[in-house]
């Protein structure tokens, strides 16, 4: 699968954007598409942090176990998961720009099972859905950061 990348510019410094994006225990409070988060590890967000994320997709609930495998505040972090015969990578990067921060999420999947390898040509049909879903998540996080109710002390940073 090719990499899909979506970016948004957010009117806040990279440190604040990184803090909110990487606060995964509270992601369901900020991202409409996430129904619930179950923390599976006893470490704070950082390398080794694991969780189960449940979303509603195509009218059904779907859960995935994920792990943070890279963590470089305030520049970015990497999340990996395995599901349906694929290994998935979600990379978040935060770059300072004049207006604040450009937040980018890049997503790709590598097939590891024979069935997943056979289905790869068909998976390209879903890239538009993936782009829309990532864009909606980024919009929700942008709104959470830029809203008047958002404040630097709204959630503690544990980096």
Q: Give the list of residues 6+ apart from residue 103 with CB closer than 8 angstroms, or none.
A: 7, 8, 9, 10, 17, 21, 92, 93, 94, 138, 141, 142
**Domain extent for 86:** 4-146
* Residue 101 covered by a domain: yes
pLDDT tens figures, 121-139: 566 656 777 889 999 999 9
pLDDT tens figures, 29-85: 999 999 999 999 999 999 999 999 999 887 889 999 999 999 999 999 999 999 877
* Residue 153 covered by a domain: no
Q: How many domains does the chain have?
A: 1
* Residue 86 covered by a domain: yes
pLDDT tens figures, 97-123: 999 999 999 999 887 777 766 666 566
Q: What is the value of pTM for the model shown?
A: 0.85
* Residue 93 covered by a domain: yes
CATH label of the domain that carries residue 141: 3.30.530.20
* Residue 156 covered by a domain: no
**Residue 155 predicted with pLDDT over 80:** no
* Residue 154 covered by a domain: no
Residue 128's φ and ψ, nearest 5 degrees, are -65, -40
Q: Which two tokens stand for residue 77?
A: 């972090």
* Residue 155 covered by a domain: no
Query: Rounded to whole angstroms, how far apart are CA atoms 126 and 147?
Result: 32
Cβ-contact 47, 158 below 8 angstroms: no
Q: Give the list of residues 6+ apart from residue 30 with CB closer than 8 angstroms, or none.
A: 20, 140, 141, 144
* Residue 151 covered by a domain: no
């Amino acid at each position: 699968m090719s990499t899909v990348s979506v970016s948004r510019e957010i009117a806040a410094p990279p440190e604040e954007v990184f803090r909110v994006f990487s606060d995964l225990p509270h992601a369901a409070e900020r991202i409409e598409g996430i129904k619930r988060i179950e923390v599976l590890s006893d470490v704070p967000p950082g390398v080794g942090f694991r969780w189960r994320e449940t979303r509603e997709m195509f009218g059904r609930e779907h859960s995935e176990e994920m792990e943070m495998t890279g963590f470089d505040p305030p520049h970015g972090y990497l999340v990996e998961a395995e599901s349906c015969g694929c290994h998935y990578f979600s990379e978040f990067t935060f770059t300072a720009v004049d207006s604040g921060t450009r937040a980018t999420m890049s997503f790709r999947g590598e097939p590891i099972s024979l069935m997943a390898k056979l289905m790869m040509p068909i998976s390209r049909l879903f890239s538009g859905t993936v782009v829309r879903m990532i864009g909606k998540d980024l919009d929700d996080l942008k709104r959470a950061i830029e809203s008047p109710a958002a404040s630097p002390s709204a959630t503690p940073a544990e980096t």
